[in-house]
Amino acid sequence: MKYRDLIIFAILLAIAIAFPWMGVKRYLIASALIMFCYATVVSQWNLVFGIAGIFSLAQVAIFAFGAYTTAVLGRYMDLTLWYAFPIAGLAGMVFSFFVGLACLRMRGIYVALLTLAISQVMFVLIQTDSACSPLNQRDNPATCVSFTGGAQGLGGFGSFGWRDVLGGRNWILGDYYTMLALLVVALIFTAAVTQSRIGLAFKALRDNEELARSRGVSVFKYQLIVFAASAFLTAMAGGFYAAHFGAVGSNLVAFPLLLFLISMLVVGGIGKAWGPLLGAFLLMAADEVFKEFSDWRNIGLGMIVLVFMIFLPEGVAGAIEAVSKRATRLWTALRRRSSA
């Protein structure tokens, strides 16, 4: 089974590497790289939500935190973004660690409510941040922006820098492969954690917290570990997102993005190894197809989550697993009959 997963991984990676050279339109390359970014975030979310069973909605806030940290470091400290990314990752870990600490005595839906509230507070803080920041004094007072850029967003902090290396036409390939590399790291990291002893503690707490504690598993320790561990690559993804677009805005913590990403998690299959990737792919594709109905986007996403929760709680990955299990059983039965 693990062997099979490795083969699937190799094939998908080969396709992803070849994709930009298959004569696709430029905007598809751009969409694919955004999909990689979202899939990275969702894969880390899956670690918290699917593997450790903690109903945290903080992942989007961590993503935004990473994006803003990168933007601020790039803009005000003139840091090359390649240095800003790991710092943003570490800052995201610290941020998430404290979110985990705040959620320690809560269970289930209360964790969801608290983490949602944290995102909302971030959103409001950014939206209402309008006073001209001393750091932006060099700007003309009339156009001077606030520290976070407020409702307008913040730009002018640099990019990956691929334009200088690859030129004005091909820089997007640099962004594409950078994002792909992050996703590959995220998938390997998630798989490794899931298979490790730490992952076993996460699953124990998810399946039966009382029993897990009675077998010596500390809630305190592993909840903080999962919050911190899942935040590094999420915040990095935020940084990469900022670097690709060259701007950050409060939409990164707003509800539509949260809904979009949680739909990916649910559609792909909560707790399934391939869930985040499948979900990110399917929802990006659906978004592309239903572009004309964008007014209905949030309602449509809500409906999708609802339908999957009720009829396919294991998501597409779960359904594929079930079908392939049945097919294997049928195949062995047929073989036995033909050999008899």
Partner 1 sequence: MTPESGEPLLACRNVFKYFGALAAVNDFDLDVHTGDVVGIGGPNGAGKTTFLDVISGINAATSGEIRLEGRDISRVRPDLICHRGMARTFQLNAGFDSLSIRENVLIGSAFGLGDRGVPAVTYSRAMRERVDRALELCRLTDRAHATARDVPVLERKLLMLASAVATDPKLLLIDEPVGGLNPHEVDDVMEIVEGLVAEGMTIILIEHVMRFLLQLSRRVVIMHHGEKIYEGDTQGLLSDRRVVEVYLGAGTADRLQHMLAERAAPNG
Q: In the complex with partner 1, which residue's Cβ is closer, 170 or 196?
A: 196
Interacting residues with partner 1 (CB under 8 A): 192, 196-198, 200-201, 203-204, 206-208, 210-219, 221, 225
- Least separation in angstroms between residue 31's CB and partner 1 is 34
Distances (CA, A) of 63 to 35, 174, 208, 330: 14, 21, 29, 44
Indicate the SS3 state at residue 93.
helix
Of residues 88 and 225, the one with the C-beta less far from partner 1: 225
- Residue closer to partner 1 by CB (options 164, 207) is 207
User: From the CB of 51, what's the least distance to partner 1, in Å?
Assistant: 10
Count of CB atoms situated within 10 Å of the CB of 235: 34
Identify the CA nearest to 73 among candidates 59, 61, 87. Answer: 87
The CB-of-276 to partner 1 minimum distance in angstroms stands at 18
Strand 247-248, strand 154-155: pairing = antiparallel
Q: What's the min distance (Å) between Cβ of 233 and partner 1?
A: 18
Closest CB to partner 1 among residues 181, 211: 211
Half-sphere exposure of 279 (CA within 13 A, CB side): 36
Shortest Cβ 179–partner 1 spacing (Å):
27
* Whole-number Å distance between alpha carbons of 57 and 119: 8
Shorter beta-carbon distance to partner 1: residue 75 or 203 = 203
- The CB-of-200 to partner 1 minimum distance in angstroms stands at 6
Which residue, among 170, 183, 181, has the nearest Cα to 281 in the 3D structure?
Answer: 183
Closer residue to partner 1 in complex, CB, 221/335: 221
Q: Cα–Cα distance between 39 and 95 in angstroms, integer? A: 21
Angstrom distance (rounded) from CA 287 to CA 256:
13
